[in-house]
A and B are shown apart, each in its own frame.
Chain A
Amino acid sequence: MIEVNDVTKRYGNTVAVDHLSFTVQPGIVTGFLGPNGAGKTTTMRMMLGLDAPTSGNVTVDGHSYRSIPAPMHQVGALLDAKGAQRGHTAHQHLRWLARAGGIPRQRIDEVLAIVGLSDVAGKRVGEFSLGMYQRLGIAAALLGDPGVLLFDEPVNGLDPEGIRWIRILLKRLASEGRTIFVSSHLMSEMEETADHILVISRGRLIADATVAEFTQRSASSHVRVVSPQAACLAQLLQGAGATVTSRDGELTVTGMDASRIGALALEQRIELHELTAQRATLEAAFMELTEGTLEYHSTVPDGSGDTANTQPSTRTETP
């Protein structure tokens, strides 16, 4: 379990992380989402004691990282996969790490097998592809068999097979009761992998929810209703607090779930022909949340409709 308590990190006048508080629970995969520059890596660096918070504190299993007695057995991390000595072989790279944590040498071969690098154990790291660096970084994180694992953008540079592999690995590690914290700017990835989602933008937490809650709350989640008495139903639903738009006898309802709409219609004996809940994708929900909070805006107007969110929302509500 990781606890972030009211953490702020400033670099000169730039606020990288702004009064951030959350906890990461064991037994599930927690996705840490946000656009590039949102403060994800800075937050993870503070969890690992690499950077000190300007104010607030971070604890891992109740300890500040720097005072953990056996850090490699308690926390494993993949931050910068390319952070390796080019002249070392994969095996040598893991050997100095194992030595630092007092970890027996046979564990090196075990983790190399887990990440599928056994055949290139004697190859120099400088000759590795980005995908191989990622696998080596994951092997390094797993060396001490830790209960808490942090991965910063682990799917970077992996091929589809590698992405599938890491997804299964993360779920398996979580099912063993470990705390798994994975950052990504790729929503689609988290949708498949994470159980719980934390979204930050400009260093602030803007969502802390399960994947289901997160997509449900999104404005682009709606219920499609078809009824011969559409006008009457629209009035009824609006009266009950929902937002309704109407087109050719088909209603798009937001702010109310399908079961409540069905119940209200039944009460008033309104005939329904269709009642369909349309869940937003995580991608759409994320775009909606971070819109207007991005640090760097594209100057090209986004009219291409390449996201599922076709109704840009100006909501600033924090779920």
Chain B
Amino acid sequence: MFKRNLALLLVVMLVASMFIGCGSKPAEPTEPAATPTDATPAAEPAATPAAEVEQVLYWNISGEPKTIDPGLNAASDGGHVINNMFEGLMREINGKLEPAIAESYTMSEDGLVYTFKLRDAKWSDGQAITAQNFEWSWNRVLAEETASEYAWIFDEANVDSFKAIDEKTFEVTLKAPTPYFLGLTAFYTFFPVREDAVAKGADGAWAIDPAASIVNGPFMLESYIGGDRLVLVKNPNYWQADKVKLERIEALMIVEASTYLTAYESGSIDALLTPPTEEIPRLIAEDPTFYILPQDGTYYYSLNTEKVPMDNINVRKALSLAIDRKAICETVTKGGQVPALNMVSPASYDADGNLFSEKLGGFGLAETAQIEEAQALLAEAGYPNGEGFPKVELMYNTSEGHKQIAEAIQEMWKQNLNIDITLTNQEWAVFQDTRREGNYEIARAGWLGDYSDPMTYLGMFLSESPMNYPRWKSPEYDALIESARTAPGQERFEMLYKAASLMEEQYVNIPVYTYTNTLMVKEKVVGWEMTTRSTWFFGFAEITE
């Protein structure tokens, strides 16, 4: 009896599971939502004359961005997409800041109050963009429950308060005159979003749902297929929509570098970032569509000052001295990178027009390895010829490029200092936690400046900063940086120099090189732009033949 009941029960469960299996199909996310919009592009070619070139750009964004919600994004891959979908008060065009959603702005004489006059621009659904939108969006980023990873940038920008005076007037008050504040209004964290759109998925889900996404930039979302592609179409309500030539952008998410390079060379992709390192010398020689652009960023290794033997300044300096940065740039990374001797990338100038990083100097570091000095320092630290050097682990996030650099440096330390370092890699999300929690001895790190000022680098090493991976704490440094935030011009830079020297003299980081941006864009694509923050903008791009 029991057996028969059991059998019956099993049959019932089996049949039920079949229905469950069927039921889940129609509920699959976004697929059905994308279908009605699919009808629009079919109608579009009829509207444009047949003789013209099809204005479709195929662009690889190398993998699925974590989010494309401006308020939540903290990564450069999401930044590219956001920069083409949204617009802030200002926008960088040809390296210059130009009023965008703001028609004009005035700055008070003490440089503390910015008043932005908004133009008659509309959201993609036709509603007017108001100062209240900005107020709400900025408040959203700052609200704790939003958990924005970039909320701290408001502090960095010295923003004290902001309010919408009326529909078209937005006023921002700063704690101190901040020369780079205006540039930051073109940065995604300061972009406006619509309250009713965000309400449909506050965790960023609204931004990837074509039905919910409301944007104010040149392109809007047509469909989003996770792991495959996202499709952007021209936003007819964009305030300078007449200048936007592209009808459609297919943003592909191909992760493997050799795969997207093949796709580019066979003509199925028009634009891509970071082709594989091994192919760069060939591309430089053969391909006129390959570009190397300077980038404001430093690739470095962080040394955990709380762990033995990294707590010893001589060990830290020895490790830094024993690296041949020139060899790494020329034979490992190959993309025209420049050896870095301090943390600040050579992209920001001081009040007298000197290159900040150049004036700061290398603190004894050179482009090539200084072996004798490094060995002497290691001996002084109690490890003559590397004897008795504890087991040290170098951690990097999983990537072919990071691995190559780590292996090269590991061997340099082995040959120059006779110390054995083990390499471990971790997946990016895990690695970020490990690094933040200080569970490492040496960790790879990289920082792309958010604005053209040394502060974007120096701010990281405040005692309480989450980016202070070396866990180096100096009240003097904190005090200098804090007072530099409010000090005027010349005086401010003196403090920054002093603070930077304080940090560099401790060798808590090993700067390796200054980033470059390697990219490829087909000749037929004209008018594309790469901002000084290394973000794509295709708003005024065009396909020619």
Question: Real complex partners, A and B?
Answer: no
Interface residues of A, Cβ cutoff 8 Å to B: none
Interface residues of B, Cβ cutoff 8 Å to A: none
